[in-house]
A = this chain, B = another copy of it.
């Protein structure tokens, strides 16, 4: 008999407690035992058709952070860029070309990316009760991969919840958490209602803070974000996709292993894809200018076979 292994940041007790908390929020079986889309089921074509109503000027804003080759406190293992062809050799005569190669660990705290269900497990299972063992080093994400999300690209009504703006501050502090009450308060301050199937983007002001105080490392320095309780709010509002300018979960400073309840509950129990590390500053300014926090949002995950997610550059159309 093998021993049961507890994940870093978890104990049997905390796992049991979380299991009890999250059980009533579960979407397992809601869209059938074979479902691989989770809350993207809420994102019907009608949502996309309705979302065009929020397009006024047609201004398009990219909601992704730059992906660089330079190490940073939030990016210790940055992208590799290699030139495969003709890097320095433009011919003097005729047409030549340069082609590069990308090496990218896109999860983590720097790169804007979408998490597929296979990114996260709880008690050895992923969304809809699939065995975590279907994800393996050799075969990749044999279930819960980004494939279905890429083939059913998220398009709908985006809603920005700008926490620091609603609180009259330039940014949230590291370690400051947002729960259901705070999320409702922000929506109310903005006069916006979250509807079933919305893609909700929560701004903590991470990049505004970094512009003043420098880039920080969420593991050692902590990070603003959502509390585990926010899962109730996400489920009650039937949010289709949650994007944040951080890693969704609030993190406390100190480098301890983190339980990441939002990641766990959203991906595993709600089947709700997350978009981490979004760039929301320009969208926040534009939304404030037009006094409107909803817009059309389009996300095109790469069709990476058997991956646990994908780097993305979501596009807001205002």
Interface residues of A (CB under 8 A from B): 1-2, 4-12, 14-15, 18, 44-52, 55-62, 64-69, 71, 76-77, 79-108, 112, 118-125, 132-133, 135-138, 140-141, 147, 150-155, 259-261, 263-264, 268, 296, 298-309, 311-315, 317
Question: Roughly how many angstroms separate A65 CA and B58 CA in the complex, as a whole number?
Answer: 28
Tell me if B60 and A55 are in contact (CB < 8 A). no
Q: In whole Å, how far is A118's beta carbon from the nearest beta carbon of chain B?
A: 6
Please name 8 pairs of A and B residues whose Cβ atoms are closer than 8 Å in the assembled complex, sorted by A.
Answer: A4-B92, A6-B94, A10-B95, A62-B303, A83-B136, A86-B88, A101-B105, A299-B300
Tell me if B121 and A98 are in contact (CB < 8 A). yes
Q: In whole Å, how far is A308's beta carbon from the nearest beta carbon of chain B?
A: 5
Oligomeric state, in number of copies?
A: 4
Chain B residue at smallest Cβ distance from A140? B81
Contacts of A92 in B (CB 8 A): 2, 4-6, 123-124
Tell me if A62 and B153 are in contact (CB < 8 A). yes
Question: Roughly how many angstroms separate A155 CA and B47 CA in the complex, as a whole number?
Answer: 19
Contacts of A9 in B (CB 8 A): 94-95
Tell me if B93 and A155 are in contact (CB < 8 A). no
Tell me if A141 and B98 are in contact (CB < 8 A). yes
Q: In whole Å, how far is A109's beta carbon from the nearest beta carbon of chain B?
A: 12
Q: Assuming the A-B contacts A58-B44, A105-B99, A315-B298, are A14 and B303 also in contact, with contact meaning beta carbons closer than 8 angstroms in the complex?
A: no
Q: Assuming the A-B contacts A89-B137, A302-B67, A317-B298, are A98 and B83 also in contact, with contact meaning beta carbons closer than 8 angstroms in the complex?
A: no
Which residue in B18, B95, B315 is a CB contact (below 8 Å) of A121? B95
Question: Roughly how many angstroms separate A83 CA and B93 CA in the complex, as a whole number?
Answer: 23
Tell me if B55 and A52 are in contact (CB < 8 A). yes
Contacts of A69 in B (CB 8 A): 140, 305-306
Tell me if A93 and B11 are in contact (CB < 8 A). yes
Contacts of A153 in B (CB 8 A): 60-62, 313, 315
Tell me if A81 and B307 are in contact (CB < 8 A). yes
Tell me if A99 and B119 are in contact (CB < 8 A). yes
Chain B residue at smallest Cβ distance from A125? B90
Q: Assuming the A-B contacts A93-B123, A98-B121, A315-B155, are A82 and B84 also in contact, with contact meaning beta carbons closer than 8 angstroms in the complex?
A: yes
Tell me if B84 and A137 are in contact (CB < 8 A). yes
Which residue in B2, B96, B155, B264 is a CB contact (below 8 Å) of A2? B2
Which residue in B99, B154, B259, B260 is a CB contact (below 8 Å) of A107? B99
Which residue in B64, B77, B91, B122 is a CB contact (below 8 Å) of A7? B91
Question: Roughly how many angstroms separate A5 CA and B90 CA in the complex, as a whole number?
Answer: 9
Question: Roughly how many angstroms separate A85 CA and B69 CA in the complex, as a whole number?
Answer: 15
